[in-house]
Structure formats: structure tokens, C-alpha cells
Amino acid sequence: MSTTDNKEKEKLQDEEILELQHEIKKAKQEFKQAKHENEGMINEINSVINSSKEVQLHLLKKEKQKEEIVKQSEHIKESLIDEINSLLQSTKELKKNLHDKKQKKEEKIHEIEQEKEILTLEISHLLLGAEEIKKELTKINKKKEHQIEILQNQINETDQDIKKTILGIKEVLEGNLPTEKKLNILRTKLSGKNIKFEDMKKVVFK
């Protein structure tokens, strides 16, 4: 092989080497750029992952808060149900008490009405009885007044009769007739009177 051929060959080799070096350099730059881009993408991915983790943590926190709220809501719901049941029970008891009181009040009113009716009847009977008693007393008073009038007349008549009898006895006693005659006359005058002859005899001849 000639020297020229060797030089040509060396020149070609040098050009190939330079080209290879250029390619290598270019490849290194591309790799570097790709690496930079990859790092950017990795950073973005990491940022997204971190953001995703934060979102997950936030969502987890929200979920826990939601669970806590649900628990609190359930607790509040149970408490409200208990309070409502208690209020319903109290309302039922209050309603029952009011019903019992109303029933007792109605029974009491009924009893009072019955007692009122009974008292009204009793008062009516008493008034009728009082009227009857008044009538009877009026009759009795009138009867007594009539009896008193009759007795008074009898007393007056008896008094007049006694006066006449006394005058007659006095005339007989003061007369001049014999004693036996006087006694017979006195016996006749005192006949039918409530004065015993023997008593009069004792008085006259004592």
C-alpha cells in the first residue's frame, strides 16, 4: 500500500473519529438534555405524587372528619330520638293526667249536680213541709183560739152562774126559813153544780 493510500486512509479515519466524536458529543448533549427533561418530568411527577399524597391526606382527613361528623350526627340523632321519645312519653303522661283530671272533674261536677238536685228536692220537700206545718199551726192556732174563746165563754158563764148561786145562797142563808128548809133549798140550788153539797154544808154551818 502506498503512502498516499495510507494518508487517505488515516484522513478518513480521522474524519470518522471526528464524526464519531461529534456524534458522541451530540449524543451526550441529547442525553444531558433528556436527563434534564427527565429530571424535570421526575420533579413534576414527584410534585404530582406529593400533591396527590397531600390530596390523599386531605381526603383522608376529610374522610375522618366526615366519619367524625357522621358519628356526631348519629350521636345527636340518637340523643334527639331519646329526647323526642322522652317528650312523647311525657306528653302521653301529661295527656293521661289531663284526661284523668278532666274525668274526675266531670265526675265531681256530676256528683255536685246530683247533690244539688237532691238538695233542691229536699229543700222543696222542706218548704212543702214547712208550708204544711204552717197550715197545720194556723189550723191549730185557730182551733186553740176557738177553744180559748169557748173556754172564756164557759168561764164567763160559770162565773155568772157562781155569782147567781152565791147570791141565791146568801138570800137563803139570810132568810127566816128553818134550817132543814134552807138545806133542802141549798141542795136544790147546788144540784148539777161542781160544788159538793157536803162541802158547802161544812162551809155554811161550820
Instruction: Judge whether 183 and 201 are in contact, CB under 8 Å.
Output: yes
pLDDT attached to residue 106: 92
Q: What is the pTM of this model?
A: 0.36
Question: Torsion over CA of 94, 98, 99 and 105, rounded to 10 degrees?
Answer: 160
In a domain, 193, yes or no: no
* Domain housing 145: 1-151
pLDDT attached to residue 107: 92
Question: Torsion over CA of 123, 127, 128 and 132, rounded to 10 degrees?
Answer: 150
Residue range 137-166, pLDDT digits in tens? 888 888 888 888 888 888 888 778 777 777
In a domain, 176, yes or no: no
Start-to-end CA span in the chain (Å) = 235
Residues 18 and 23: their CA atoms lie apart, in Å, by: 8
Using CA atoms, how far residue 96 sits from 41, 92, 109, in Å, is 78, 6, 19
* Residue 193 CB partners (closer than 8 Å, separation 6+): 161, 165
Residues 41 and 46: their CA atoms lie apart, in Å, by: 8
Q: How many domains does the chain have?
A: 1
In a domain, 129, yes or no: yes
In a domain, 204, yes or no: no
In a domain, 156, yes or no: no
In a domain, 146, yes or no: yes
Q: pLDDT tens, position by position, for the chain (206 residues)? A: 567 777 777 777 778 888 888 888 888 888 788 788 878 778 888 887 787 778 788 888 888 888 888 888 888 988 889 989 998 898 899 999 999 999 999 999 999 989 888 988 888 888 888 888 888 888 888 888 888 888 888 888 877 877 777 777 777 777 777 777 767 777 776 665 555 545 455 444 44
